[in-house]
């Protein structure tokens, strides 16, 4: 079993990848999409989305990151993939799942699931353009307006040379509304000869268990669930990865106890989340424009308040604040920060 961290535009960026991989349990990340049109992107553009390229393609805690490209022109995608490959990501991932209207309107993301033949041409062009030892994978939804082409699209991606396929178990029309149709991922898994990873609506260990059973997939990709509960990957790993050797029975008993406890409380307690919140804020101040900083912190707290009562209290206290200096002062009072920003203030 492998657990991947999903790419989510405007949410799971390099800052949150850094923080969430510090917690543990994640085997690989995928960057936010890098939009490809009809120009050859600069190295600076790639680095802005995926600064891990300056660290051998790893997050600071050592988790490999695969770079994701989004576009619809096979030639441009291939040319940009070749340049990106020179920077050393741990693979190239291709986005065929983004549901954003602005992306779909220009023929990118999930809109491509209406044209299986074009899917094959894009993947084939990228596969030919990058070194043979550079993995090429793809992420898709079940379809655009419906899932009638789900299997055909998956087969088209595999035929083009994709070595792994992540399937978000909803169509573009479904957006992020529950449920996720994990059983349709199983139909795809049975129709292709490459590894398939299930994604969508995994918020708890029990969701992960049911997803694996319905999809037949060993591995899962986590998105909003791990943003809400940063310890989710660890909890899934403890509960669902089978221990080996003489200590297996003890380890299984401990995992069962962990799972029972995590149904009522997160595996990572709030006291351990606080320093992560402080580290997140330091990175936000370093990387984002001043006008964006407070909103970015509120965004993460808005997710976590569904799992942590303390996050709800912090969110309520921050909700009306916009001045980064005031945010810093509040985080100090909460115990998330020491004197790290005193000089800048």
The reported pLDDT for the residue numbered 177 is: 95
Mean local confidence (pLDDT), 176-185 = 97
Asked if 183 and 151 touch (Cβ cutoff 8 Å), the reply is no
The CATH classification number of 3-248 equals 3.20.20.70
The reported pLDDT for the residue numbered 220 is: 98
Whether domain 270-334 has CATH 2.60.120: the reply is: no
Residues near 133 by beta carbon (within 8 Å), at least 6 away in sequence = none
At residue 254 the predicted structure's pLDDT band, cuts being 50, 70 and 90, is: low
Backbone angles phi, psi at 29, to 5 degrees: -115, 160
The reported pLDDT for the residue numbered 259 is: 52
Cα 125–Cα 26–Cα 340 angle in degrees, nearest 5: 110
Contacts 24+ apart (CB under 8 A), 263-266: 263/204, 263/206, 266/229, 266/230, 266/231, 266/235, 266/307, 266/308
Is the confidence at residue 344, as pLDDT, over 50?
no
Higher pLDDT, 264 or 85: 85
Both structure tokens of 193: 């000869």
Q: Where are the domains of the chain?
A: 3-248, 270-334
User: Nearest CA to 304 among 340, 324, 334, 328?
Assistant: 334
At residue 107 the predicted structure's pLDDT band, cuts being 50, 70 and 90, is: confident
The reported pLDDT for the residue numbered 340 is: 55
User: How many other CB atoms are found less than 10 A from the CB of residue 340?
Assistant: 15
Is the confidence at residue 243, as pLDDT, over 70?
no
- How far lies 89's CA from each of 103, 134, 174, in Å? 24, 8, 31
At residue 126 the predicted structure's pLDDT band, cuts being 50, 70 and 90, is: very high
Query: What is the chain's length?
Result: 345
Is the confidence at residue 342, as pLDDT, over 60?
no
Mean local confidence (pLDDT), 313-321 = 96
Equal fold, 3-248 vs 270-334: no
Q: Which residues are catalytic?
A: 98
At residue 207 the predicted structure's pLDDT band, cuts being 50, 70 and 90, is: very high
The Cα 107–Cα 71 span in angstroms is 8
The Cα 54–Cα 95 span in angstroms is 23
> pTM (2 decimals)?
0.92
Residues near 96 by beta carbon (within 8 Å), at least 6 away in sequence = 109, 110, 112, 113, 119, 138, 139, 140, 141, 153, 157
The mean pLDDT of the chain is 93
Lowest mean pLDDT among 11-25, 77-91, 137-151, 239-253: 239-253
User: How many other CB atoms are found less than 10 A from the CB of residue 48?
Assistant: 13
Is the confidence at residue 263, as pLDDT, over 90?
no
């Amino acid at each position: 079993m492998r657990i991947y961290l999903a790419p989510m535009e405007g949410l799971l960026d390099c800052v949150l990848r850094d923080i969430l991989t510090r917690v543990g349990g994640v085997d690989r990340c995928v960057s936010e999409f890098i939009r490809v049109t009809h120009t050859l992107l600069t190295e600076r553009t790639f680095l802005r989305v995926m600064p891990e390229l300056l660290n051998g393609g790893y997050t600071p805690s050592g988790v490999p990151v695969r770079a994701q490209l989004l576009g619809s022109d096979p030639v441009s995608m291939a040319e940009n993939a070749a340049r990106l490959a020179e920077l050393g990501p741990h693979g190239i991932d291709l986005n065929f799942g983004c549901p954003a209207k602005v992306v779909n309107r220009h023929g990118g993301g999930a809109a491509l699931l209406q044209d299986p033949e074009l899917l094959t041409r894009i993947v084939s062009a990228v596969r030919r353009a990058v070194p043979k030892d550079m993995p090429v994978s793809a992420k898709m939804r079940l379809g655009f307006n419906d899932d009638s082409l789900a299997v055909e699209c998956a087969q088209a991606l595999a035929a083009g040379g994709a070595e792994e396929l992540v399937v978000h178990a909803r169509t573009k029309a479904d957006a992020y509304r529950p449920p996720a149709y994990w059983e349709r991922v199983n139909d795809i898994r049975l129709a292709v000869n490459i590894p398939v990873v299930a994604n969508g609506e995994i918020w708890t260990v029990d969701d992960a268990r049911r997803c694996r059973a319905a999809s037949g997939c060993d591995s899962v990709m986590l998105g909003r669930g791990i943003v809400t509960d940063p310890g989710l990957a660890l909890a899934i790993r403890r509960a669902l990865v089978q221990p080996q050797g003489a200590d297996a029975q003890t380890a299984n008993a401990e995992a069962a106890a962990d799972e029972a406890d995590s149904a009522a409380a997160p595996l990572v307690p709030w006291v351990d989340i606080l320093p992560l919140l402080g580290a997140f804020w330091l990175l936000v101040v370093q990387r984002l424009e001043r006008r964006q900083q407070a909103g970015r912190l509120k965004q993460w707290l808005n997710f976590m308040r569904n799992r942590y009562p303390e996050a709800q209290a912090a969110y309520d206290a921050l909700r009306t604040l916009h001045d980064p200096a005031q945010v810093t002062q509040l985080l100090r009072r909460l115990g998330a920060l020491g004197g790290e920003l005193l000089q800048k203030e």
